[in-house]
A and B are shown apart, each in its own frame.
Chain A
């Protein structure tokens, strides 16, 4: 019992203010005025030199957005957002179109260094041929640095800011943009469609196995800047790509809205692995500040035997509202969702997935591990459905929650809908605290309560960590420790 008390006390004492990545960089920004109207939408589109069809597409989204209401079904509470009090465009001042890292604002590079992003290191370490990572770094709203482009081009892989793809590959963007997450999908996705700033575009041609893992680091910097990333990844027939997304954000007192949209399209026999480590500012120990993360992520297994896998490690944000999903349209397609969601302080997480089985012999697997501490609320919300024609659909879901301390909450809300008798669905969920036997065992062997907790938590999330690419797994493990233990690391 004493051990437990100690652990609880330890976790409670964690100073969320100790947020490791809380600092800001002073770079002058080019901003649009506060607020949102058709002129702002046109301004954003014009700034990027977009073709008319895209301007119209944004305006259409904006007009639809005006008719929509903010969703209220998630178990999250926050003051009303004044959408007219936000900036919808800002770009760091920089020489246009840097050709190499040397041309990038050194202040920016120092920021990345402080964050521990191995951007330069990656170039230096480029000799390690097998584990190269291409980084398309996003600083606020505009992509400013892209590496490894030449090598990717050799393989025929297109990896560039989506704003650039609009110019260089308009036919691909036009064909796939909004084809997975329709313009009117939900309040935040529609807002994103109207004002999206920038993001990554990936196209992997037929039969190509992308020669390296593609990676983007996000960073929110400007005060009161809504950040509206838009990512589109297309894996053509028989191709494979692994994409890594990681985020940190500087500390701010006012809440920051982030409403990204990620669309994945996998054609016949293609595979996309999408991994995220999210560590945005969660707010201070009183629950002030922190990022609002309202993201729409969806993958469309459009082709036969296609495969989309989402892996996420969520440790940050004041509010997380996020359901990376798979539409299993192609016969024999597979969807996976592996998630670790850690909440502490006054964080609120409402996250999960949707696996929609439309095609025959489609398979899905969901492993969700939620860890709640402090005064946080952590909800898994998921949907698994089999439509009439989804003969032989299979799903397995395992949702486990771990509670640390008496003041947090852990909730599970699955919707499991079957209209096909040959669909086989299995769902299991558990909620428990860290076993005192395990804690005692570890402490008897000499670990502190804090170390023992970290050890047990790591065991609890192991199934998901295994799904991450190696370098990401290490980072993720570190983040989980930081989130739960404060000063470690």
Chain B
């Protein structure tokens, strides 16, 4: 074990002292031990090579304390909302009473206090993402969040929105964790919203753990927005899929600051299927890192990833996607695609699509491209009468659309399209 030396790690250690007796001591201790081995990752850690968290973090901001703010949050779509504000689950801002049959929700704090073994073991997710120090740190320091259990066979029509917001006027650190468990054959749509209500540079470390029992299906839409230049957001998604389960997800990343979305997904049963798509709209000095490990542990799995990075100003995009096919995971079918558009002289993109294949009867591939808008396409559109900026906007929109094709919920899709259009119209009007 490396001794924690830096000031940052000393501060984090004090956070741990504060949180260690707040439920799930073994999970916290294991997380802390794992984090302590490597500390805050810098560029020398291979999986963090393009995102130097240690430098960006400097000294961690103080741990968030519960705010009492009475807020009225606007609604962007017709979802049932579960709000975590400044590191604390807020039933008063949530639609707890309106949850349909088959959905049980409680705060993480309560769940940890009750300590039900199956919930604790689901939360731990020890077997995937285990190597990541920031996910381990989340386990050690988790303050609150929400735990949702969806009954076997339940089909939940309305989307459940897990909203995580920061409102404090001063910089703060939050550590939140949410768990969504879908029983056998259950079906639901989840919207994961991460935003900021203030202009203070928050440091948010959040995790969403998904457990899909056999035959369950989850549609997931993730939206990152807000954030200021110095803000840091690391959001980990852990997805376990049992046999025949399916996840169909899309994430839209916008805003500013340093963002890292890391996905650890494992197909743990045969015939499971996963779609992880996403688009990043980079402006200002946004640093947006998507790191994905798609782990095929059992035969006959299928995975699809379509990512689009649209990078303007001095924004930097990172895509690291690894498809693993374990020994014996025969008949795996995996296709991953990452394309980036650089719209300004200062924008930059780093693509690292990986394949790690230990079974022979598989079809796996990936593609990655990077460049600017296609001149032939631009000429075609302008020759039809579109002014250059509009032609560019149409092409950019089309570029983003390719990652949004798989979204089935019309309302959510329209919401996301509007976000893309809004981003583009700001670009045109400049």
Residues of chain A touching chain B, judged by Cβ–Cβ distance below 8 Å, are: 73, 388, 401, 403-433
- Asked whether, in the complex, the Cβ of B370 is within 8 Å of the Cβ of A431, the reply is no
Interface residues of B in 255-275 (CB under 8 A from A): none
Q: Which of A388, A408, A416 contacts B352 (CB 8 A)?
A: A416
State how many angstroms separate the Cβ of B95 from the closest Cβ of chain A. 44
Contact between B360 and A418, CB atoms less than 8 A apart:
no
Q: With the chains together, A426 CA to B351 CA distance in Å? A: 11
B419 at the interface (CB under 8 A from A): no
8 Å CB interface, B49-86 against A: none
Q: How far apart are A25's CB and chain B's nearest CB, in angstroms?
A: 39
Whether A405 touches B360, Cβ cut-off 8 Å, given contacts A418-B349, A421-B345, A425-B370, is yes
Q: Is the CB of A427 within 8 A of B368?
A: yes
Q: Is the CB of A410 within 8 A of B355?
A: yes
Near A by CB (< 8 A), chain B positions 319-354 give 327-328, 330, 340, 342-345, 347-354
On whether A421 and B342 interact (CB within 8 A), knowing A427-B353, A428-B367, the answer reads yes
Q: Please report the C-alpha to C-alpha distance between residue A417 and residue B340 in the assembled complex, in whole angstroms.
A: 11
Q: Does B102 contact A (CB under 8 A)?
A: no
Task: Establish whether residues A431 and B365, one from each chain, have CB atoms under 8 Å apart when the complex forms.
Answer: yes
CB < 8 Å: which of A401, A403, A413, A421 contacts B347?
A: A421
Contact of A433 with B362 in the complex, beta carbons under 8 Å:
yes
Whether the Cβ atoms of B357 and A433 lie closer than 8 Å is no
Q: Determine whether the beta carbon of B358 is less than 8 Å from that of A409.
A: yes
A403 touches B352 (CB 8 A): no
Answer yes or no: B363 CB below 8 A from chain A CBs: yes
28 CB contacts below 8 A, A to B, read A401-B357, A403-B359, A405-B360, A406-B328, A407-B327, A409-B356, A411-B355, A414-B351, A416-B349, A417-B348, A417-B350, A418-B342, A418-B371, A420-B345, A421-B347, A423-B370, A424-B370, A424-B371, A425-B368, A425-B369, A426-B369, A427-B368, A428-B365, A428-B367, A429-B355, A431-B363, A431-B364, A433-B362
Closest chain B CB from A390 CB (angstroms):
12
Question: Do residues A401 and B370 form an inter-chain contact, with CB atoms below 8 A?
Answer: no
* Also in contact, A431 and B355, with CB within 8 A (given A421-B343, A421-B347): yes
* Other-chain residue from A401, A410, A412, A415 in contact with B350 (beta carbon distance below 8 A): A415
A75–B316 Cα distance when bound, in Å, is 28
B contacts, CB < 8 Å to A: 46, 327-328, 330, 340, 342-345, 347-372
User: Chain A: which residue is nearest B369 at the CB level?
Assistant: A426
* Shortest Cβ gap from A396 to chain B (Å): 10
**Chain B interface mostly helix, strand, loop or mixed?**
strand
In the assembled complex, which residues on chain A have CB atoms less than 8 Å from the CB atom of B371?
418, 421-425
Bound-complex Cα distance A430 to B361 (A): 13
- Chain A nearest CB: distance from B206 CB in Å? 28
Q: Smallest Cβ distance from B51 to chain A, in angstroms?
A: 13
- How many whole Å from A344's CB to the nearest CB in chain B? 13
Listed from nearest, the 6 A-B pairs whose CB atoms lie closest are A421-B342, A403-B360, A424-B371, A416-B351, A412-B355, A430-B365
Residue of B nearest to A436 (CB): B361
- Complex CA distance for A428 and B352, rounded to whole angstroms: 12
B372 contacts which chain A residues (CB < 8 A)? 421-422, 424
Q: How far is the CB of B346 from chain A (nearest CB, A)?
A: 8
User: Could you tell me the distance in whole angstroms from the C-beta of A489 to the nearest C-beta in chain B?
Assistant: 25
Contact of A427 among B347, B358, B364, B369 (CB under 8 A): B369
B362: A residues at CB distance < 8 A? 403, 431-433
User: In the complex, A406→B328 CA distance in Å?
Assistant: 8
Query: In the complex, which residues of chain B have a beta carbon less than 8 angstroms from the beta carbon of A432?
Result: 362-364
Known contacts A73-B46, A414-B352, A424-B371; decide if A431 and B357 are in contact (CB<8 Å): yes
Interchain nearest-CB distance for A372 vs B (Å) = 8
Closest to A404 in B: B360
Q: Complex Cα distance A408/B361, Å? A: 11
Q: A413-B352, A421-B347 are in contact. Are A406 and B359 (CB under 8 A)?
A: yes
18 additional A-B residue pairs with CB within 8 Å, beyond A418-B371, A429-B355: A401-B355, A401-B357, A403-B357, A406-B328, A408-B360, A418-B340, A418-B349, A422-B371, A422-B372, A424-B369, A425-B368, A425-B370, A427-B351, A427-B353, A429-B353, A430-B364, A431-B355, A431-B363
Flag if A411 contacts B351 (CB, 8 Å): no
- CA distance in complex: A431, B358 (Å): 11
Tell whether, in the assembled complex, residue B357 and residue A410 are in contact, meaning their CB atoms are under 8 Å apart: yes
Whether the pair A429, B357 counts as a contact (CB closer than 8 A) is no
Q: How far is the CB of B410 from chain A (nearest CB, A)?
A: 33
CB closest residue in chain A, given B46:
A73
- Contact partners of B340 in chain A: CB under 8 A: 418
B327→A412 contact, CB < 8 A: no
User: In the complex where A409-B356, A433-B362 touch, is A421 in contact with B369 (Cβ < 8 A)?
Assistant: no
